[in-house]
Structure 1
Amino acid sequence: MLSSYGTLSATAKRLIAARALRSIGQGTLVVDFALYLHALGWTPFAIGSVFMGGLAFGGLLTLFLGPLSDRWGRRRFLLTYEVSQLLAAMIAFLSVNPIWIAATAIVGGFGRGANGSPGPFAPVEQSWLAGEVTPGLRGKIFSLNTALGFLGMALGALVGILPGLVNHGHPQAWSYRLLFLIVVFGSLGCFVLLFGARDEVRSADTCKELDEHAHHSRRRLENTLLLRLVGVNVVNGLGIGLIGPLMAYWFKLRFGVGPSSIAPMMSLAFVVTALAALLSGRLSHRFGIIDAVIWPRLMGLILLLPMALSSSFVWAAVFYILRSGLNRGTIGARQALGVSLVGPNRSGLAASLNTVSMMMPFAVGPIIAGLFFQAGWLLPPFLLSAGLQGGYLYLYHRFFRTHAQGAA
């Protein structure tokens, strides 16, 4: 897979490098942001509401940004994202006012753990990268992109241990605030990388078939596939949203541990996930994207309930680390399939629909989980999530098993 990296264009390498750099700050905040809000005295419902607000805001932006970037180019949108991240992180560093914290968290998507993707601008990144990679290599390169994002998050998660080194492992709110500077400097570095990337806007007419009837037939097939993608993603997004964004908080409530325990565990999970993403890229190239997604996700689903029912932090951490690799290691392969369901002149639209159909139901999950947590019920979100993720795997295999070869 690394040999494939050597054949990439300079622009593709800049995009992948930016993801790796961006992911460091994200890895830090996925460990510490919910714990920071808890240290400020926020309730579980309030914490879940902020996560929901950020995801909903991002989902609305995502709906428009991918198609707009198909017409107006990609670079200007990603540069705008980096500026918004820099400003949001600076305000969060300077203020503890709940209104400002909530506003910056919603704009910045703090604590989501997006493995280096640029939040609501992710479709722009995906379509830009897809345009720099031949369809036959997309599964491998998108998986490599995902892997480097998770390695950056692993490094960031290790940095997230720092607040846990004060006050006997139960830090006060002030010790978390310096971590926002990591996001500030990361955004500056990403801005420099992306500013030097080449962005060629593709005409919508360049990819039309010469035969008008064939063109319309292809467009109808693409629309059908996109509708299927939206449907399965709604199920998957709600299932993952019930447990994903608040996992660090769940460990805090379930076992009474702080950053000094959660950060190393999550860092190791991100390393394992990065390795799994690289393996997923190889599997997708050899066996096809569908098998490279279905079987790891199924094994991850089997581990979900043992993790939730674990009687000790150590066992729960072991199951979490294994599930992380099996579940999230398939992200690159799923992204590659999404952008390969349509022609290159609609890749931004496809990436937007792929992302927003996950993000909007994903946004509902944290507030539902927060209500359960506030009532002291820590198990029901996992039971609901297991049922939804099982339904997603069935639908994903049924809908796309015959449409994945071109993306492998």
Structure 2
Amino acid sequence: MKVESRNRAVACLQAARALRSVGQGVAIVDMALLLKALGWRATAIGGVLSAAGVVGAALILLCGPLSDRIGRKPFLLAYECMTCAAALAVALSRNPALLTAAIVLTGLGRGQNGAAGPFTPVEQAWMAENVPRDRRSRVFSANTAIGFFGVAAGCLLAGLDHVWRNALPGALAFRPLFCGIAGLSLACAFIVWLAPGGGMAGQRRAALREQAPSSRQVERPASDGMRFRPDPQRKAENRNIARLAFVNVLNGLGVGFVGPMMSYWFATKFGATSGEIGGTLAASFAVTGIAALVSGYLSARFGMVRAVVWLRLAGVGLMCALPFMPTFALASVLYAARSALSRGTQGARSALGASLTGDDRRGFSLSMNSFFTRAASAVGPTISGWLLDEGSLALPFVFAAGLQLVSTVLYGVFFRGYDVELERRA
């Protein structure tokens, strides 16, 4: 694929992420509030979001490796169509079974920062095919920033339910917003359809570009004549995949305790409205988008792993202090700062995950790590929902901070050699 086509593919994927993230921002604020307006308890809301994590993890295991064989584009098109249908179901139905199915199958309300839900490894692998290894940290960080800015815009839009609340009282006030999410999903599907590449031919060309001229290849009989890396290299790749998966299990557990239930927590602890919560989350995502761009620069300047470790350690400290803030304003400031420090490194972490293998196994590698993250995060909402119903408003944050502290330290221990390798190549 020519350079122009590769750049256009990246631009299309980023445009789709921008629109998708706006819809996700609306859902982050309003999904839990809609269910609360329908009379759902925190435990039930957390249970549904946990189930969404489990189903998403199962889809990750299936779709990532399968996309290595049949291409990336069909999976992203399917995801956008599924999200459109789910948003319409949430907008038009009040049947608990249908609402549960819509949330579980697509993860509406789980806060995925513009990523394609369980198809995120497919999206990341497609982008990595079109970006040279030495540019991935900055491109992935910019891609993450786009998602955060879009989610911020969506969080602001989520407060519009008060504009028409007199005409559409109660839970009906959320209907226009979820219809809007459905429209954004259709637009994303159209953009993905226009994106060049996404098939097997592009993946083979990307794999050939990544092969180092000096690497020793061992030819093995294969029906398609493709080359395979030697066994020692494959073992090293598998070891790194396993290490990152373990780190992501701990991080996912921490994320699950806090992220999906933040709207409910703000509403319960401070009596905040959807507009106030939307403003807080919007500010946090906007600051996080800026932090994602800064983390891309810091990764290039000081090393990808070093930047991630130091920023996330600072975020852990703020996580510990957050639940003890006496006012909504102070809690909002700490939440925004913590989000910037912790989630702003998401692009750099994705770039590392996309660089652990060659392109022929990238979907598998990214799927393994996304699977363990989502499977672990599925546990958190149920437990934190139960704790909130019992009046324990601080314990979810304490548990999350402890898990993310261990995760960050192990990340630095396991992958500090990656920075050394890039410095040596430079």
Residue from 113, 125, 128 that aligns with 1:130:
128
Q: Which amino acid aligns with 1:43?
A: R
Secondary structure (helix, strand or coil) at the match of 1:403 reads helix
In the alignment, the residues of structure 2 paired with residue 76 and residue 275 of structure 1 have an alpha-carbon distance, to the nearest angstrom, of 32
In the alignment, the residues of structure 2 paired with residue 227 and residue 165 of structure 1 have an alpha-carbon distance, to the nearest angstrom, of 49
In the alignment, the residues of structure 1 paired with residue 416 and residue 5 of structure 2 have an alpha-carbon distance, to the nearest angstrom, of 29
Q: Are 2:16 and 1:9 aligned?
A: no
Q: Are 2:288 and 1:273 aligned?
A: yes
Q: Which amino acid aligns with 2:190?
A: V
Q: Which amino acid aligns with 1:9?
A: N
Could you tell me which residue of structure 2 aligns to residue 343 of structure 1?
A: 358
In the alignment, the residues of structure 2 paired with residue 53 and residue 187 of structure 1 have an alpha-carbon distance, to the nearest angstrom, of 22
In the alignment, the residues of structure 2 paired with residue 397 and residue 271 of structure 1 have an alpha-carbon distance, to the nearest angstrom, of 27
1:224-303 correspondence runs (5 A):
224-303=239-318
Give, in angstroms, the shift of residue 344 of structure 1. Answer: 1.4
Q: Are 2:398 and 1:383 aligned?
A: yes
Secondary structure (helix, strand or coil) at the match of 2:259 reads coil
Could you tell me which residue of structure 1 aligns to residue 77 of structure 2?
A: 79
Give, in angstroms, the shift of residue 210 of structure 1. Answer: 2.1
Larger mean CA deviation between 382-391 and 361-370 belongs to 382-391
Could you tell me which residue of structure 1 aligns to residue 223 of structure 2?
A: none
Could you tell me which residue of structure 2 aligns to residue 33 of structure 1?
A: 31
In the alignment, the residues of structure 2 paired with residue 16 and residue 214 of structure 1 have an alpha-carbon distance, to the nearest angstrom, of 31
Residue from 182, 191, 194 that aligns with 1:193:
191
Asked if 1 retains the 8 angstrom alpha-carbon contact of 2:147 and 2:289, the reply is yes
**Unpaired segments ≥5 residues, structure 1:** none
Residue from 218, 221, 233 that aligns with 1:211:
218
In the alignment, the residues of structure 2 paired with residue 302 and residue 8 of structure 1 have an alpha-carbon distance, to the nearest angstrom, of 40
Alignment CA distance shift 1:90-1:167 (3 Å): closer
TM-score (norm 1): 0.94
1:165-204 correspondence runs (5 A):
165=163, 172-199=170-197, 200-201=199-200, 202-203=203-204
In the alignment, the residues of structure 2 paired with residue 129 and residue 65 of structure 1 have an alpha-carbon distance, to the nearest angstrom, of 16
Residue from 157, 161, 164 that aligns with 1:163:
161
1:43-54 correspondence runs (5 A):
43-54=41-52
Q: Which amino acid aligns with 1:276?
A: A
**Unpaired segments ≥5 residues, structure 2:** 220-227
Residue from 138, 142, 145 that aligns with 1:140:
138
Asked if 2 retains the 8 angstrom alpha-carbon contact of 1:138 and 1:407, the reply is no
Asked if 1 retains the 8 angstrom alpha-carbon contact of 2:56 and 2:106, the reply is no
In the alignment, the residues of structure 2 paired with residue 278 and residue 129 of structure 1 have an alpha-carbon distance, to the nearest angstrom, of 17
Give, in angstroms, the shift of residue 127 of structure 1. Answer: 0.3
Give, in angstroms, the shift of residue 171 of structure 1. Answer: 6.7
Give, in angstroms, the shift of residue 305 of structure 1. Answer: 2.0
* Post-superposition CA distance 1:332-384 (Å, at most 9, x none): 10000001011111111111112111100101000000110111111111111
Alignment CA distance shift 1:407-1:11 (3 Å): farther
* Post-superposition CA distance 1:43-93 (Å, at most 9, x none): 111000110011111110001211111111000111111111111111111
In the alignment, the residues of structure 2 paired with residue 298 and residue 329 of structure 1 have an alpha-carbon distance, to the nearest angstrom, of 12
Alignment CA distance shift 1:383-1:189 (3 Å): same
Could you tell me which residue of structure 2 aligns to residue 329 of structure 1?
A: 344
Could you tell me which residue of structure 1 aligns to residue 224 of structure 2?
A: none
In the alignment, the residues of structure 1 paired with residue 4 and residue 156 of structure 2 have an alpha-carbon distance, to the nearest angstrom, of 29
Secondary structure (helix, strand or coil) at the match of 2:16 reads helix
Q: Are 2:229 and 1:222 aligned?
A: no
In the alignment, the residues of structure 1 paired with residue 263 and residue 133 of structure 2 have an alpha-carbon distance, to the nearest angstrom, of 37
Asked if 1 retains the 8 angstrom alpha-carbon contact of 2:255 and 2:377, the reply is yes
Asked if 1 retains the 8 angstrom alpha-carbon contact of 2:156 and 2:275, the reply is no
In the alignment, the residues of structure 1 paired with residue 284 and residue 4 of structure 2 have an alpha-carbon distance, to the nearest angstrom, of 27
In the alignment, the residues of structure 2 paired with residue 214 and residue 95 of structure 1 have an alpha-carbon distance, to the nearest angstrom, of 52
Q: Which amino acid aligns with 1:122?
A: T
Secondary structure (helix, strand or coil) at the match of 1:242 reads helix
In the alignment, the residues of structure 2 paired with residue 370 and residue 404 of structure 1 have an alpha-carbon distance, to the nearest angstrom, of 39
Could you tell me which residue of structure 2 aligns to residue 308 of structure 1?
A: 323
Q: Are 2:386 and 1:371 aligned?
A: yes
Larger mean CA deviation between 200-209 and 68-77 belongs to 200-209
Asked if 2 retains the 8 angstrom alpha-carbon contact of 1:144 and 1:277, the reply is yes
1:56-67 correspondence runs (5 A):
56-67=54-65
Q: Which amino acid aligns with 2:263?
A: A
Q: Which amino acid aligns with 1:394?
A: V
Q: Are 2:359 and 1:352 aligned?
A: no
In the alignment, the residues of structure 2 paired with residue 6 and residue 278 of structure 1 have an alpha-carbon distance, to the nearest angstrom, of 24
Identity %: 42
Q: Are 2:125 and 1:121 aligned?
A: no
Could you tell me which residue of structure 1 aligns to residue 66 of structure 2?
A: 68
Could you tell me which residue of structure 1 aligns to residue 109 of structure 2?
A: 111
Could you tell me which residue of structure 2 aligns to residue 151 of structure 1?
A: 149
